[in-house]
Structure 1
Amino acid sequence: MHASKETLYRAPPWLPGGHLQTIYSSLFIRVAPVACRRERLELADGDFLDFDWVDGHAGSPVVVLFHGLEGSADSHYARGLMARVRAHGWHGATAHFRGCSGEDNRLPRAYFAGDSEDIGCILRHVKARHAEVPVYAVGISLGGNALLKWLGEQGAAAHPLVERAAAVSAPLDLAAAGRTLDRGFNRRVYTARFLATLKAKALHKATRFPGLLDAQAIAATTTFREFDTLVTARLHGFRDADDYWLKASSKPLLKSVSVPTLVINARNDPFLPASALPAPADVSPSITLEQPGAGGHVAFPSGPFPGNLDWLPRRLMQHFDIRRR
């Protein structure tokens, strides 16, 4: 399945290339914050998850957003989508992964790209709050991979919780993404930026839980491979980064997805090479692949200079708003 000409993304001529589209959109295009209501869900394992809700009209659908690595309700894509959800009069929820809502989570474990158990927990909670209306799920980057993994694992069993889904710039092949991010410009710019906060969180966990992590080795890491071996794998039961990347990738499960799902990946995304993207033969008939030539990583800027980030939330809501079909 392919996008129509009306929906296919096209980059503005004044902002060429995946790096420029990614960096400019993240750092220089401002998206206004959206007023939200915070809800805390206490978990059976003693931890908690925080939701930021946009309350819509009674009987309207719910859009739940799973953010990317080190993201939150304040991420530009979350603000943009929730503003569009509010304008529709719908309900929206940004579901924060553990430790991403501005407060440390309580347990040694954190969150990771294959955390389908927490995806299911979040969706069950949202559906319990809004049992009589459609629930639509969006995963961005890391959150997109985790959502797709859950959808693939559940197959037809996902339907009672989610009516439609979407994943944007998901690192569907974590090994390919990890290798790409650990090289050259990517390593110096993107990986270094992510590791600044990831390492700080991990070092704090090392202090809170003595003997769990090697703080000295973590402080010296400069690659995702090192960090995922020392921290992500250690906290979540994987042997090392390679084992984690293999077992947490969603790409092998895409043939099992049963919920109608839109999967958007720019072919110039600096985080994942186009050669790693799935072809139609690699996915189930329920998946619509959109792989525009441009767009960067969770960017998709549009409009005349200085640009806006309206295309992505508009495209996602179009996918969800079946009344307009």
Structure 2
Amino acid sequence: MTPERHDADFQAPPGLANRHLQTLLPRLLPAPSPVLSWETLALPDGDVVELCWIAPGPADEDAPLFVLFHGLEGSVDSPYARQLLTAAGERGYRALLMHFRGCGRHPNRRPRAYHSGDTADAHWLLTRLARRYPRAPRIACGVSLGANMLLKLVAEDAQREFPALHGAIAIAPPVDLAASADCLERGFARVYQRHLLGALKAKVAPRLDAGELPLALSSRDLNGLGTLRQYDDAVTAPLHGFAGAADYYRRASAGPRLAGIRLPTLILHAEDDPFMPSRLYQDVTLGPGIRLETSRHGGHVGFIERRGGRLASWLARRVGAQLDGWAGATPSMREAFSRSDS
């Protein structure tokens, strides 16, 4: 296999090509309302993550699995999550979303949170799913922060004897975290930064006041953090063993690891994504398993097209097409995977 770079077939509707319109439009459109089933997964360190399954699942125990990892402060209520889970479920996949620690219905238990490079919880989930459904192909999809995490996991998985996954889809991954932090400090993108910071602070503040977090930080200090870089330097890095924001960004970014990826992996990127530089992949070496599709427009996890006279999610259509292709290969894939997992 050789790495492939392609133009995505996404076309923004006339008048709706603006990067910020595309970023915000998904929040204004009706989203599917699938029936959901919740599960709490215990982690090795005594913490938990909450899983959300599309219900009912396929009757066939060997049906392929679709595991979704959300973005920063996302959840199953994020518009893209409903769209993608529904698209997978309609195609016969057993679909679920893993909430990162503290992003579900309840706070997490340990004095920590989650971050862009934290692959341990996702890998723990995937190994549990492999035991629960031993002959089911496992496909994962990550969005934004979850996409960077997923690519890092896939790169790490290449060093393991048995694969945790059989295919991956990364939507808008910020594979250079430092560059993304810079982008969010400029122009209108500061609006997104302010929104994300507000959500992060609201979650950390009560735990900080209760003395649950080992941080040398007061509530006043927390309120004074004005950028995501400052937040990562004061909260994310010390909570998770990094020397500071720069160390965190360097060690957690997936970009330098992409060259080693052989697993079939689709990356979807918009050149006008306000969360990252337009030439994000110009100097990145892609591994032989990667297919990179870029579009001129799309914003950050936007990709809203006009279909059948209505505005609709191109992401759901494109991911659905990829899942259709992989589902068509599952008989031979399943045989190969059952041998590798045994």
Q: Structure 2 length normalisation: TM-score?
A: 0.88
Higher strand share: 2
Percent identity over paired residues: 37
Deviates most, 268-277 or 121-130? 121-130
Question: How far apart in 2 are the matches of 1:165 and 1:158?
Answer: 18
* 2:222 aligned with 1:218: yes
* 2:248 aligned with 1:239: no
Counterpart for residue 80 of structure 1? 83
Counterpart for residue 203 of structure 1? 205
Cα drift, residue 120 of structure 1:
1.0
Counterpart secondary structure, 1:78: helix
Matched-pair contact (CA < 8 Å) for 1:112–1:232: yes
Counterpart secondary structure, 1:276: coil
Question: How far apart in 2 are the matches of 1:222 and 1:99?
Answer: 22
Counterpart for residue 52 of structure 1? 52
RMSD: 1.8
Residues 285-304 of structure 1 aligned to structure 2 (within 5 Å) = 285-303=288-306
Report the CA distance shift for 1:271/1:78 in structure 2 as closer, same or farther (over 3 A). Answer: same
Matched-pair contact (CA < 8 Å) for 1:251–1:278: no
Question: How far apart in 2 are the matches of 1:126 and 1:75?
Answer: 23
Matched-pair contact (CA < 8 Å) for 2:111–2:212: no
Matched-pair contact (CA < 8 Å) for 2:142–2:150: yes
For residue 190 of structure 1, the aligned residue among 184, 189, 192 is: 192
Report the CA distance shift for 1:235/1:152 in structure 2 as closer, same or farther (over 3 A). Answer: same
Cα drift, residue 136 of structure 1:
0.2
Runs (5+) with no aligned partner, structure 2: 330-342
Cα drift, residue 324 of structure 1:
4.6
* 2:275 aligned with 1:262: no
Counterpart for residue 125 of structure 1? 128
Report the CA distance shift for 1:296/1:256 in structure 2 as closer, same or farther (over 3 A). Answer: same
Aligned-partner residue type, residue 118 of structure 1: D
Question: How far apart in 1 are the matches of 2:78 and 2:248?
Answer: 26
Deviations 1:299-318 (A, max 9, x none): 10011676121x21221122
Question: How far apart in 2 are the matches of 1:158 and 1:146?
Answer: 20
Counterpart for residue 35 of structure 2? 35
Report the CA distance shift for 1:159/1:22 in structure 2 as closer, same or farther (over 3 A). Answer: farther
Deviates most, 173-182 or 77-86? 77-86
Counterpart secondary structure, 1:157: coil
Matched-pair contact (CA < 8 Å) for 1:31–1:80: yes
Report the CA distance shift for 1:158/1:23 in structure 2 as closer, same or farther (over 3 A). Answer: farther
Cα drift, residue 159 of structure 1:
5.6
Report the CA distance shift for 1:246/1:212 in structure 2 as closer, same or farther (over 3 A). Answer: same
> How many residue pairs get matched?
319
Counterpart for residue 164 of structure 1? 167
Counterpart secondary structure, 1:243: helix
Matched-pair contact (CA < 8 Å) for 1:262–1:287: yes
Matched-pair contact (CA < 8 Å) for 2:176–2:255: yes
For residue 110 of structure 1, the aligned residue among 106, 113, 117 is: 113
Aligned-partner residue type, residue 197 of structure 1: A
Question: How far apart in 2 are the matches of 1:46 and 1:143?
Answer: 22
Aligned-partner residue type, residue 243 of structure 1: D
Deviates most, 252-261 or 154-163? 154-163
Residues 56-67 of structure 1 aligned to structure 2 (within 5 Å) = 56-58=58-60, 59-67=62-70
Question: How far apart in 2 are the matches of 1:44 and 1:89?
Answer: 31
Question: How far apart in 2 are the matches of 1:285 and 1:156?
Answer: 15
Deviations 1:172-229 (A, max 9, x none): 1000000110223211x10011111100111122123357231221111110111001
Deviates most, 142-151 or 156-165? 156-165
Matched-pair contact (CA < 8 Å) for 1:295–1:301: yes
Cα drift, residue 3 of structure 1:
4.1
Matched-pair contact (CA < 8 Å) for 2:232–2:245: yes
Report the CA distance shift for 1:317/1:210 in structure 2 as closer, same or farther (over 3 A). Answer: closer
Report the CA distance shift for 1:319/1:209 in structure 2 as closer, same or farther (over 3 A). Answer: same
Counterpart secondary structure, 1:259: coil
